[in-house]
Amino acid sequence: MTRTSVASPANIALIKYWGAVDLERALPLNPSISMTLRECVTVCTAAILPGGGEDLIQIAGADGILADAPGRFARAVAAHLDRLRARAGRDVPIRVATRNTFPTAVGLASSAAGFSALAVAVTRLLGLRLGADELAELARASGSGSAARSVVGGFVEWGMAGSGDSAAIRVLADASHWDLRDVIAIVDETPKDVSSREGHRRAPGSPHYAARSAELPRRLEVVRAAIAARDLAAMGDVIEEEAIELHLIAMSSRPPIFYWGPGTLRVLERVRRLRADGVPAYATMDAGANVHVLCEPAWEADVQAALVELPDVVRVIRDGVGEGPADAPPLF
């Protein structure tokens, strides 16, 4: 095989991965549970370069034109290519091109989508046929822990608290089990100033971190049971608590991190108002200003209509639970 092309999705954490046993290896302090998405994806095309030479790492713009990837991103991809080649036992130069269907570095898990896509595309290119746990391990080794959750579809649990181990993934339910929708309110498309990686590093310094950790066993059990029962109301309060506490911990870290913006608060207020008006919708956010609003299919249009009328909402992405990485048309 000389070329592969894969679309791999972002995911939204219902129980958050926030803080690490080993940040360099992205080993989590606590288990997390996520929903794999289907519309927010990274397309990664990889090919072996004939004749030797250096890797070529490119990124596609909105117009589809490929250009050299910026330095920091290119270095991260190059380092991960070395890991993937070492795993395959093949020392060949590789051309990689990527394109996101959603905003990058704004708290929508673009690194999870990107590095899971890279892991899946390049291991296929190099002839490796790996199971989900092996792919999750390689995706996680990029430094993006949440990439481990994007190598499979449906509802995924990853990580054992304090394990200090590679922490296998577990599919709690596949995508066909529950057609849950995610209406994403984009209030800020500007790349965030503080990376999630730095947020993980600072998190244990928050005085609220230990209190949140004590709540996690209960929250994990509630969310597992709610997924099994397809009961959004049962897990709604918990996922909102988790989202707020991630940001509480970020804001009380030393030095503090402020991911929220004014638009974030207005979207959260609108979601509370929707519930008061009888629309069962619940909000969650990762490390960014933008807000995921989860609802059943019957309420998706109502939720979108309520969000798009807010002046802070730049646009809305309608997404939902997806099946994981899939073949995609090549970028070159």
CA atoms within 13 A on the CB side of 84: 33
Going by pLDDT thresholds of 50, 70 and 90, the confidence category of residue 254 is: very high
What are the tens digits of pLDDT across the range 132-147? 999 999 999 999 999 9
Structure letter (DSSP) for residue 221 = H
Query: In this model, does residue 178 exceed pLDDT 50?
Result: yes
Average pLDDT over residues 12-31: 91
Q: Report residue 317: phi and psi, to 5°.
A: -110, 125
What are the tens digits of pLDDT across the range 189-228? 999 999 999 999 999 999 999 999 999 999 999 999 999 9
What are the tens digits of pLDDT across the range 48-76? 999 888 999 999 998 889 999 999 999 99
Looking at residue 155, what is its pLDDT?
98
Looking at residue 160, what is its pLDDT?
64
Domains of the chain (ranges, CATH numbers): 3-176 (3.30.230.10), 181-320 (3.30.70.890)
Which residue matches tokens 């990689």? Answer: 96
Going by pLDDT thresholds of 50, 70 and 90, the confidence category of residue 162 is: very low
Query: In this model, does residue 163 exceed pLDDT 80?
Result: no
What are the tens digits of pLDDT across the range 265-284? 999 999 999 999 999 999 99
The helix (run of H) or strand (run of E) holding residue 5 is: strand 3-15
Rounded CA separation 261/32 (Å): 25
DSSP string, 101-130: SS-SSSSS-HHHHHHHHHHHHHHHHTT---
Looking at residue 190, what is its pLDDT?
95
Query: In this model, does residue 165 exceed pLDDT 60?
Result: no
Looking at residue 161, what is its pLDDT?
47
What are the tens digits of pLDDT across the range 89-117? 999 999 999 999 999 999 999 999 999 99
Residues 5/45, Cβ–Cβ less than 8 Å: yes
Looking at residue 167, what is its pLDDT?
63
- Helices (H), ranges, the chain: 71-88, 110-125, 132-140, 196-202, 209-229, 232-251, 262-276, 300-308
* First vs last C-alpha separation in the chain: 15
